[in-house]
Amino acid sequence: MAQINDVIKKEVKETVYNFFAEECEVDIASLNDNTNIIKDIDGDSLMFLELIEIFKKKYNLDIELKTIGKYALKHPVETIGQLIDMQIRIIELENKLLEMDK
Amino acid sequence: MQEKKIAFIFPAFVSDYREDPTEGLPGFSDYLHSFLQKASQAEDPRLIRFHYINHNFLDQELMTQYISYILNCALSEYFHHRKIIPQYCAGYSMGIYSALYHAGSISFEEGLVMIREAYRAIEKITKGNQYGMGIVIGLGRGDLEEMIRKNFTSVEITNQNSIYSFVISGNYTEIAGLLEMVRNEGALHTRELKVTVPYHSSYIAEAAADFGKAISGIPIRMPSAYPWDLQSPTSSGIISLITQEILDTPGALRKEVTQNIHTPLNWFKTQLRLQELGVTVFLECGPDSGLIKNARFIEGKFEFLSPAQALK
């Protein structure tokens, strides 16, 4: 399990904002934590999957995709802020994500 | 862009128009109108009324297939006139007819006949049965196969779009059941497709034979020259989504067209094969951007462009 500090939080936030600005071809300044990924910027589940892969590589995470899928079923993500929180939780708990959620 | 090796990818059918398919393509509406006119004269007079919002025919399966084919073919000609010439092309599912037209192997009108005959043959054997298709994103192939094997007798994986993205076909109730099960087992996303037949599955094998007979009179020509520009033929090999081989004879093309109906495809492997052949630019030659989205999970140095992006 990783210790989450302010540097990691900042990195995650920057990565997520840059990713959506590029993928959805929107000005990064127009995004905020309340931006709805599907309704406001036409994002999709494949983008979510791609972001997970980016973080898995970046932080060398030991977590199965289906574990994240099960977690997402209990904690649906709609906004950029919720997505950032989930990514931080994934980095922190990796494969213990579901276990620690009980 | 032309120094790069390009592949045109023709999508199957559009399920939603997010924007005007002529947007960002100066002069394309004239091409589209011309192809709509030809199709309405040859096949169905209603086709000329197509409009992406007001008359998009999205609730009529056969008409949607016609429209996608028309848009694909119009784009093929539009790019040819702008000297954007691919080295290879591939047709995703029913996009195979557009690929054949693009390579000069069939005429535009013959492609319309093929679409109609495939639809008729499939409808004949699926009528009265409830079939469906769906998409599963976020599970590995092994997990998905195991779930199907243990719980569903009629569901087949009929295409793989990326490492984590699959198309399934089968009995409608079982498709709905599987989609619910995979969501509970950790799939990040599932979706039912707006179709009523299980394309690319063994359930419609009989239709392939019937379809083969119906199109036996259509002469499939060597893929190489454009029908509207025989003075400067351009090589454009068609890649099979079934075997990933280059289809370079009329016989191989006829076999592909017939088998395409009831044989599982692998779009993921086809993209890798095109990369092996040196392709660095994939141009989605159609109205949707679904294939561009799926390409996100393929490793390698390549770009996937929409028609408007290709002009920049």
Position B91 confidence tier, pLDDT thresholds 50, 70, 90: very high
* CA terminus-to-terminus distance, chain A: 17
Strand, coil or helix: B169: strand
Q: Any idea where the domains of chain B sit in the sequence?
A: 6-126+204-311, 131-195
Q: Is B216 in contact with B266 (CB distance < 8 Å)?
A: no
- The DSSP 8-state label assigned to residue B305 in this structure reads E
CA distances in angstroms from B246 to B88, B186, B212, listed in the order given: 9, 37, 21
Q: Does B188 touch chain A (CB under 8 A)?
A: yes
Among B126, B7, B261, B183, CA closest to A68: B183
Among partner residues B18, B137, B185, which is closest to A46 by beta-carbon distance? B137
Q: Check pLDDT > 90 for residue B204.
A: yes
Average pLDDT over residues B93-113: 95
Alpha-carbon gap, residue B287 to B18, rounded angstroms: 9
DSSP state of B29: H
Ranges of each domain in chain A:
6-101
Residue of B nearest to A53 (CA): B297
Closest residue to B183, CB basis, from A44, A65, A73: A73
Residue whose tokens read 């392939």: B208
CB-closest option in A47, A48, A70 to B186:
A70
Q: What pLDDT shows up at residue B106?
A: 95
For B4-19, write each residue's pLDDT tens digit: 889 999 998 777 777 8
pLDDT, mean over chain B: 90
Contact A49 B297 (CB under 8 A): yes
Fold of A6-101: 1.10.1200
| pLDDT higher than threshold 50 for residue B229 | no
Q: How confident is the model at residue B235 (pLDDT cuts 50, 70, 90)?
A: low
On whether any CB of chain A is under 8 Å from the CB of B142, the answer is no
pLDDT reading at A101 higher than 50: yes
Tell me which CATH code domain B6-126+204-311 carries: 3.40.366.10
Q: Full-prediction pTM beyond 0.95?
A: no
CA nearest to B122, candidates B298, B258, B283, B297 = B258
pLDDT over 50 at A87, yes or no: yes
Q: Where on the phi/psi map is residue A14: left (φ > 0), alpha (ψ -120 to 50), or beta? A: alpha
Q: How far does CA A29 lie from the centroid of its chain?
A: 19
Nearest CA in chain B to A76: B188
What residues of A are in contact with residue B293 (Cβ under 8 Å)?
44, 46
Q: Quick check: B163 contacting A, CB < 8 Å?
A: no
What distance in Å separates residue B139's CA from the closest CA in chain A? Answer: 6
Enter the CATH code of domain B131-195: 3.30.70.250
Chain B residues lying within 8 Å of A70, measured CB to CB: 184-186
Q: pLDDT (tens digit, 9 = 90+) per residue, B38-78?
A: 999 999 999 999 988 888 888 888 999 999 999 999 999 99
- In chain A, which residue's Cα lies nearest the Cα of B298? A50
Render pLDDT for A15-41 as a digit per residue (tens, 0 to 9): 999 999 998 889 999 999 999 999 999
